[in-house]
Amino acid sequence: MKTDDARVLVLGANGFVGAAIASGLAANGHQVYAYGRADTGVRHPRVELVQGSIEDSSLLREAIARATHIVHAASLTTPGTSARDPALEIIGNLLPLARVLECANDFPERRLIYLSSGGTVYGDASDGADENAPLRPRSYYGAGKVAAEALIHACTATTDWSASVLRPSNLYGPGQSMARGFAIVPTLFARALDGAPFHVWGDGSAVRDYCYIDDIVEAVRVSLPAAGAAHYSIYNVSSGCSASVVVLAAACERACGRPIRMEFGPARGVDVQYVAPSHAALAAGLGWQPRIDLAEGLARTWRWIESTRSGSANR
């Protein structure tokens, strides 16, 4: 199968990451089927919208029949939403993934690219972690990602499907809306706009790697099959741009030119102090390198926020 002939089904295409992947792959010349529960908002001549749930077996199978590649970017949870209800990970994420994998016997030779989480699967060993590090998630969200990876590995071991698991660090950029307890960059910019305090769990010293949305799109693109592609592979996707919450807030202030007030509360048990996985394997194996540093990424994100506000005011 030639990569140039890829027909890509993007699951979760109405989400921030899925929509960006669908748009980016189409712009790169691929035929894309953008699958989501709601209108994805993606408009491109090479993008065909498929509206519905993964639980709709007939619709899912029809979409997989047309595709050569599947990008699984669908998720119904965040670390916060499943913290008190771990069943959400099973019902909302693992069961839909199983519906995809059960199609492997009927639709051979598909390539699956699954978006896992470099920020949660390693637990306290996240600083500089490579793909061979033990997986010790501290949240049900991270545990769900680990379970999903295991299911995908089992699928590739028993069928002719191949898969790449991508473990991105904290993703941000234009198009990202606020999700309570999860999307820190748009939330910081929102607090810069409305003047309300930004609530910090702990003292603000927790460090995260922040990866710009265009860089994960490029990681997906280079993960499409090529000669010699591994049957099952795992790659961290990180930028090397790490910052504490306090430092990130200051960087957002510089990007938007507005102050951000912060208030501090007790730390949460699910939070890891330092998350900065290594992307050396992705660089060596597929030639991927992050292109957008944190300052530039925040500036681009703020310009997008300003443009959407201006558009709303003019309507």
Per-residue pLDDT reduced to its tens digit, 25-82: 999 999 999 999 988 788 999 999 999 999 999 999 999 999 999 999 999 998 888 9
Q: Domain 75-314 belongs to what topology?
A: Rossmann fold (3.40.50)
Q: What is the DSSP letter of 176?
A: P
Neighbours of 289 (CB within 10 A): 12
Burial category of 2 from C-beta neighbours within 10 Å (exposed 0-12, middle 13-18, buried 19 and up): exposed
Q: How far apart are CA 92 and CA 104, in angstroms?
A: 20
Residue with tokens 């069961």: 95
Q: What is the pTM of this model?
A: 0.93
**What pLDDT was estimated at residue 313?**
58
Q: Which of 8, 18, 151 is nearest to 74 (CA)?
A: 18
| pLDDT of amino acid 311 | 65
Residue with the larger pLDDT of the pair 247 and 42: 247
Whether the per-residue pLDDT at 185 is higher than 80: the answer is yes
What mean pLDDT do residues 292-314 have?
Answer: 88
Cβ 14 vs Cβ 38: under 8 Å: yes
pLDDT more than 90, % of the chain: 80
Segment holding 237, helix H or strand E: strand 232-237
pLDDT tens readout for residues 129-168:
999 999 999 999 999 999 999 999 999 999 999 999 999 9
- CA nearest to 14, candidates 76, 91, 89, 93: 76
> Looking at 177-181, 192-196, 296-300, which range is the least confident one?
177-181
pLDDT of residue 268: 80
Q: Please indicate whether residue 160 or residue 274 has the higher confidence score (pLDDT).
A: 160
pLDDT value of residue 131? 96
pLDDT score at 1: 43
- Using pLDDT thresholds of 50, 70 and 90, give the confidence band for residue 273: confident
Please name every residue paired with 235 in a beta bridge, in sequence order, or none if there are none.
166
The whole-number pLDDT of residue 124 equals: 86
For residues 11 and 72, is the Cβ–Cβ distance under 8 A? yes
Single out the residue of 97, 56, 104 nearest to residue 74, CA to CA. Answer: 97
